[in-house]
Amino acid sequence: MTEKLIYPFTFGDMSQKDLLGGKGANLAEMVRIGLPVPAGFTITTHACRAYLRTGQMPERLNEQIDVALRDLEKLSGKTFGGVDNPLLVSVRSGAKFSMPGMMETVLNVGMTPEVTQSIASTSGNPHFAWDSYRRFIEMFGKIVCDIAPEEFHKVQERIASSVGAGNIQTLDVESLKLLCEGFKTVISLATGEDFPRDPREHLLRSIEAVFKSWNSERAQMYRRRERIPSDIGTAVNIQAMVFGNLSDDSGTGVAFTRNPSTGEVGRYGDYLQKAQGEDVVAGIRTPLSLDEFAQLSPAVAAELDAVMELLEAHYEDLCDIEFTIERGKLWILQTRVGKRTAEAAFRIALQFVDENKISMDEALRRTSGDQLAMLMFPQFDITGQLQEIARGIPASPGAAVGEVVFDSKRAFDLSKSGKKVILVRRETSPDDLVGMVASQGILTSRGGKTSHAAVVARGMGKTAVCGTDSISVDESAQLFTAGTITVHEGDLISIDGTSGAVYLGDVPVVASSVTSYLEGRLSAGSDEATPVVKAVDRILMHADSKRRLKVRTNADTPEDAIRARILGAEGVGLCRTEHMFLGPRRSFVERLVLAENEDVQRSVIAEMEPLQRADFVGIMMAMSGLPVTIRLLDPPLHEFLPSLADLSAQMARAEAIHEEVSARNRALFAAVNRLHEANPMLGLRGVRLGILIPELYKMQVRALVHAYLEVKKLGHDPHPEVMIPLVATQRELLYLRESLEEEIARTFKGSGLKVLLPIGTMIETPRAAITADRLGVHADFFSFGTNDLTQLTWAFSRDDVESTFLPRYLDLELLPFNPFESLDEAGVGILLRTAVDLARRLRSDFKLGVCGEHGGDPKSIHFFNSLGIDYVSCSPFRVPIARLESGRAAIIG
């Protein structure tokens, strides 16, 4: 039986996004609830996947398209390719997950010179007819024939200047006819073939172009950023055209049921009179607001308001709606759950709770740790002397500072070299995505709140100011002017996506109100608390009430521990004691390595002990009543000693000029030469160092016991734990454990206290993971060091691969994401699952934690929760993010 690859809009509902794509499923849903949707049909994602596998249109697809077209002709009373009453259609992409502007659309398919002449006659509007044909030819050339937009712009500018027209909208009919012929010539020269005349060929090639656009560079980049699977493909929607460029009482727009930027209640969107849909999204003209549209067409605006209210109630969420008005008749072209900023996400979720539309659990599902992180970014300090040079539409909030750049590729290159840039364009297009991703923010002179720049920036959490019509952008000259001020490429500007202000120079930033709240400097119940602070407070408290996972912090100083506790940390999951010997204390490690004998070594260790003790006192006081896990020294020696290459160069230089080398430098060179390792991350570190220099770890536990006694004496409640790093064998762990327990007991002796400090180990080698049951016999707890575990499982050196081949692997989609940012569940995750199972078979209450960077990654937290791990540990800044995401993991499952 032949697989059915096409369904009319009258089939299906919003639950069938896997088959119909998001757009197709939502079109079917709107038809089902009785909204005015132009008729059409959807080519399924199965068809696209078949095409992507073979490079050929699926067998029998053409036949099914012919059948679907005949049904559409009967429904509309029009004929595709017919001259008397022609049916014109749009061809639009529509993947399961929203990818705004990342794939292709072709409008007005079915137009030919004969059809255009017929429409000109029957509509009484030749300008509309030839403008529509012009649009089709240009889209076909750019999208189907893959011709650079500049080639069409050259023809457009030549004809416009020859008749003295300021822009394409003011061309007369004869000029539009010339433009159509000029565009056809561009296509013929580029392809070596005459422009095709058969509407059916136009349709089939447009469908194929949409399939191909799934793997366009910008679509791949967007999927990587949003972690959308690369193998699901897109559906294609064929829909009868309605024309917003037909007459003065026609137009097109985009509406949101609430403000997707701030979350405020009320209509929000753009409307362009006498225009087609791509004009709004492209930002070529600055549109009217919906309030202005309501004054222009109150009856249609009221109808649109009713549709917005119905869709929001139906989807129980913020809706993004594309609409067209043709001679006063409202048509809804698509809807989807709208993308929103982080601020809007929290505010809208709470609004729906307070309106009794969703539960607090659902509000928690609709917010995320990534969004909370965005809200913690700084904001501009506008109390000082600022030079505001322009003000546009605040399209995506935030504070961005950078050098002005006018080209997306250059923005990408400068960003890779370490510079912060602001991408400035007249308007952006989907081809600008690479520059938008690389930039700190986006500034455009055209476009509105629903332009391409605004929609994409909001989705990425990028700051954007659009429709800044007081600036004139000259991309070819690499400058823009704002009144009498000229800003050149490379000049520094600051843009405020919350107010729309554009400032010359570098504006200082201050902590966000959300960060002030999280750090205890602002009460959620105070008059100064913003709506988003109140929303974050309620949702975060709900997350805390739902989560099972405890959230600890990685803290190496008392200051870090204090800050983390204020942010909600429930202990220290990782205190990296080697970090206490960076900076001014680095010389201790150097002296330890250079020690001529054990007596000198013991002397250096004795000097280190009071420093360690003081550090431990401060951290345990900050975390009184909560666990503090002290990881014993794990210093890769290359991080503490001069490089062998530098020392060799110094020695060679001294020898060349017959300069005497000091005894210290000779000893240092000899020691570094002796200890040099080809791969220090796999060399003398962790447990191996503790076994070779046993006094080192003994000193650390002595310092910890003395700190414990001092903190206890001060009336605090310390809960230290000892963690041994980089263990691979049962014998290593047993050998060190026995030695440390003896030292702990000896130090406690005479204090009147007998305290058994928990001693555990990190699981950061694959061998440790798969022999966890053996290690568990001698460990009170495990903590997964997922950074090293990832390096050792993948055979990746993090410091090297992230600057060499890993970016290329991500570009080629050989890896779906960076495994150092989110845990590799399919590989490293199996090791974790194995270790968890083995440990819990040994003891059902075996305490398990995660202390790698993944402990603060929202996606990874869901995996850790599913394994039944007891706690995650992350940097202080990410503690609130981990709290929120742990709550989400508990309710999402």
* DSSP H helix total and E strand total for the chain: 36, 33
**Three-state DSSP state, 525:** coil
For the segment 278-299, what is each residue's pLDDT rounded down to a tens digit?
777 666 677 899 999 999 999 9
Secondary structure percentages of the chain, helix, strand, coil, to 5: 50, 20, 35
Q: What is the mean pLDDT of residues 23-34?
A: 97
Distance CA 373, CA 398 (A): 12
Predicted confidence (pLDDT) per residue in 849-862, tens digit: 999 789 999 999 99
| ∠ CA 458-456-33, rounded to 5° | 85
Query: 776 in helix, strand or coil?
Result: helix
Phi, psi of 499 (to 5 degrees): -105, -20
Task: Give tens-digit pLDDT for 368-380.
Answer: 998 998 888 778 8
The residue-averaged pLDDT of 128-144 equals: 95
What mean pLDDT comes out for the span 872-887? 94
Classify 485 as helix, strand or coil: strand
Residues 6+ apart with CB under 8 A from 743: 698, 701, 702
Average pLDDT of the chain to the nearest whole number: 91
Q: How high is the pLDDT of residue 677?
A: 65
Q: What is the pLDDT of residue 584?
A: 67
Say which residue the tokens 């403008």 belong to: 131
Average pLDDT estimate for 556-581: 91
CA distances from 421 to 351, 392, 418, 436, 447 (A): 36, 19, 10, 10, 21
Confidence of residue 450 (pLDDT cuts 50, 70, 90): low
The CA distance from 254 to 290, in Å, is 9
pLDDT at 807: 77
pLDDT score of 459 more than 70: no
Taking only the tens place, the pLDDT of each residue in 180-222 is: 999 999 999 999 999 999 999 999 999 999 999 999 988 988 8
Q: 341 with 260: CB under 8 angstroms?
A: yes
How many CB atoms are closer than 10 A to CB 413? 16
Is 575 among the residues known to form the active site? no
Q: Concatenate the DSSP letters of all residues of 255-313 into one string.
A: EEEE-TTT--EEEEEEEEET--HHHHHHTSS--EEHHHHHHH-HHHHHHHHHHHHHHHH
Residue 565 has pLDDT above 90, yes or no: yes
Round the CA-based radius of gyration of the chain to a whole number and report it: 32
Average of pLDDT values for 333-346?
Answer: 93
User: Using CA atoms, how far apart are residues 571 and 552, in angstroms rounded to an integer?
Assistant: 5
pLDDT per residue as tens digits for the range 75-109: 999 999 999 899 999 999 999 998 988 899 999 99
- pLDDT of res. 640: 62
Q: Does residue 851 carry a catalytic annotation?
A: yes
Looking up tokens 């072209």 gives: 333
Q: Of 492, 471, 475, which is closest to residue 483 (Cα–Cα)? A: 471
In angstroms, the CA 271 to CA 279 distance is 10
What is the mean pLDDT of the segment spanning 529-553?
96
* Of 455, 445, 462, 454, nearest in space to 390 by CA: 445
Residue 16 has pLDDT above 60, yes or no: yes
Output the CA torsion sign for 638, 641, 644, 650. Answer: positive
Signed CA dihedral, 428, 429, 430, 434: sign only: negative
One-letter amino acid for residue 126 of the chain: P
Question: What percentage of the chain has pLDDT greater than the value 70?
Answer: 96
Percent of the chain with pLDDT over 90: 68
Residue 249's SS3 state is coil
Q: Are strands 265-273 and 288-289 parallel, antiparallel or unpaired?
A: antiparallel
Highest mean pLDDT among 442-451, 588-597, 729-738: 729-738
Give the pLDDT band (50/70/90) at residue 38.
Answer: very high
DSSP run (H or E) holding 534: helix 531-546
Catalytic residue among 319, 466, 575, 851: 851
Q: Is the model's pLDDT at 329 over the cut of 70? A: yes
pLDDT tier, 810 (very low <50, low <70, confident <90, very high otherwise) = confident
Nearest to 798 by CA among 806, 547, 350, 396: 806
pLDDT band at 641 (very low <50, low <70, confident <90, very high): low
Q: Where are the alpha helices (DSSP H) in 724-797?
A: 730-748, 766-770, 772-776, 786-794
Nearest partner of 779 among 757, 754, 764, judged by Cα:
757
Statement: residue 51 has pLDDT above 60:
yes
C-alpha distances out from residue 318 to 215, 261, 348, 366, Å: 29, 11, 8, 11
Please report, in angstroms and rounded to a whole number, the separation of the first and last CA atoms in the chain.
39
pLDDT exceeds 90 at position 541: yes
Tokens of 536: 């974050």
Selection from 436, 45, 432, 91 nearest residue 241 by Cα: 91
What's the rounded Cα separation, in Å, for the pair 99 and 228? 9
Residue 33 has pLDDT above 70, yes or no: yes
Residues 195 and 205: their CA atoms lie apart, in Å, by 13
Catalytic-role residue among 202, 452, 854, 862? 452
- Where is pLDDT greater, at 683 or 189? 189
What's the rounded Cα separation, in Å, for the pair 869 and 781? 11
Evaluated on CA atoms 558, 564, 565, 569, the torsion sign reads negative
Structure-block tokens of residue 826? 């399919």
137: pLDDT confidence band, cut at 50, 70 and 90? very high
Report yes or no: 39 and 72 within 8 Å, Cβ to Cβ.
yes
HEC sequence for 703-743 = HHHHHHHHHHHCCCCCEEEEEECCCCCHHHHHHHHHHHHHH
| pLDDT recorded at residue 666 | 77
DSSP 757: -
- Which residue would you say has higher pLDDT here, 652 or 829? 829
Handedness of CA 481, 482, 485, 489 (dihedral sign): negative
- pLDDT for the residue 591: 78
**Token pair 């520094």: residue:** 492
- Mean pLDDT over residues 616-622, rounded? 97
Which residues fall within 8 angstroms of residue 62, CB to CB, at 6 or more apart? 204
Element (H, E) at 518: helix 513-518
Residue 65, phi then psi, degrees to nearest 5: -65, -45
